[in-house]
Amino acid sequence: MDLEAIKRVVFRQVCFIQELSGRRFPPTYDETIVPISQLEEFDSVNGAEAATRITEMTGCDLQVNPFVDGNRPLTIREVAVAIYKKLNKGK
């Protein structure tokens, strides 16, 4: 799976969680969005929910919340890059 496809998966899953929760989500694709700090009520629980769906769609086993690095919230792009690197490790 290439990086662009992963970015789209991450974005779609974030939007899916927001929609499922009855909250606003970005109307158009934007890889610079930081879900945990910029989207209405998106929190670590939502990050874990999205991670489960992203794992299913990418085959990348996300055992931690991919939307943060330590205490720093990540952009959609940063999340996707981390997944891409994990999927391609050792190739």
Residue 33 is part of which domain span?
3-87
End-to-end C-alpha distance for the chain, whole angstroms: 13
Predicted TM-score of the model (pTM):
0.92
Rounded to the nearest 5 degrees, what angle is found at the Cα of 49, between the Cα atoms of 80 and 25? 70
Average pLDDT, the chain: 94
What confidence score (pLDDT) does residue 63 get? 84
Share above pLDDT 70 across residues of the chain, in percent, rounded to a whole number: 98
Cα–Cα distance, 59 to 72 (Å, whole number): 25
Spatial CA neighbour of 11 closest among 34, 40, 37, 44: 34
Count structural domains, the chain. 1
